[in-house]
Amino acid sequence: MDQGKNEMKTPKKDVLGLSLAELTEEIKSLGMPGFIAKQVYEWVFKKYRSEFADMPNISKMNRDKLAAHFVINRFLSTQAISSGDGYAKKYIFELSDHAKIESVVLREKTYNTLCISSQCGCAVDCKFCLTGFAGLKRQLAPSEIVNQILYAFQDNEPISHLVFMGMGEPLLNFEAVFKAIEIINSEEGFNIGKRKITVSTSGILRGLQKLLDHEICINLALSIGNAIPSKRIGLMPIEKTNPLTDVINMVAEYQKTHNRKLTLEYTLIEGRNDAPEDIKELINLAKYLKAKINLINLNPHPKIPLKPISNEKMDAIKSTILAERVPVTIRFRKGQDISAACGQLGESLLTPC
């Protein structure tokens, strides 16, 4: 095979997965001025363009050269579904290999949050989450994570807050997630501050250790399931290999190092974690970690054989927690009618293409 054919098969590098410094070096290596990288970044991350042809301040010759060596990640297909109440919009994205992921725009009073995916599917298998039922299909590349945000902006959904609470366990795709956060957070990128980015985890010890080793400062949300380990294991099998007691110790160390907001996510399930002793242990854990509790009533799905608690019981549990002077909120069910609420993402993985 001749050299020309080999060069044609060289995969194009994705702009969405490169920092500005990396893109600058790549562009200079092709004999173009380094400042073109900044121009590309401006078009992509500030003006939300994804075609080099739409960047008129770059010469046609250089645009053609960019197109020959780079790509700005575009999904094969997209679908947007809005909830009846207008508070949520779910995106279903088809990736280059026809795998599908989902993300959700959550509309608040004064800002929009994007709940983004870090994996296609999930291997953690929390019994209250549809994504876990679907299983893990593959990891996402940094560019595929960043592209979810770019598409929301292109769809006229201004995003100021991010939560890695979509499909997947972020700390099991550590390098890609934090490379994406670096690009998202950079001043030249989307410039979304780290205090407005939250990473949710079921408690992956090796991922938490990497946070400590690399001194990464980010808002954390820890999914509890049940604060009693012997009961937690029935809801979150990850307890077998990542014991909650070890996770708590590591999170406490992280809190000492970084003064960042910690949230304990607690999905309430009838008969599984709503007993007085369950709530007492949750309160004790929140006090120890100086954390806020976010109560989430189970969002039902035919594939999940569990039941939510009543609204009256939810209010009573909130009152019990408040009486102990622990900050607590109830997560409003946004997007349940379009399977976009917490624990409902992944339906597209169960539907044949």
Catalytic residues: 102, 342
CA quadruple 164, 212, 24, 161: dihedral sign: positive
Task: Report the DSSP beta bridge partners of residue 292.
Answer: 263
Q: Do the strands 112-115 and 161-164 form a parallel or antiparallel pair, or are they unpaired?
A: parallel
Token digits of residue 204: 């992956």
Residues 37-41: contacts with CB under 8 Å, at least 24 apart: 38/188, 40/15, 40/66, 41/188, 41/189
Token digits of residue 128: 């209250």
3-class SS of residue 103: strand
The phi and psi torsions of 100 (rounded to 5 degrees) equal -125, 145
CA 123 centroid distance within chain: 15
Query: How many CA atoms lie within 13 Å of 287's alpha carbon, on the beta-carbon side?
Result: 11
Which amino acid is it at 33? P
Token digits of residue 124: 């953690």
Compute and round to an integer the Cα radius of gyration of the chain: 22
Quote the CA–CA distance of 331 and 294 in Å, as a whole number.
6
Continuous H helices in 156-267: 174-185, 205-213, 229-235, 244-257
- Tell me the CA distances in angstroms from 249 to 83, 203, 225, 328, one per residue in order: 40, 11, 17, 22
Quote the CA–CA distance of 128 and 106 in Å, as a whole number.
21
Query: DSSP label at 41?
Result: H
Contact between 63 and 69 under an 8 Å Cβ cutoff? The reply is no
Quote the CA–CA distance of 305 and 318 in Å, as a whole number.
25
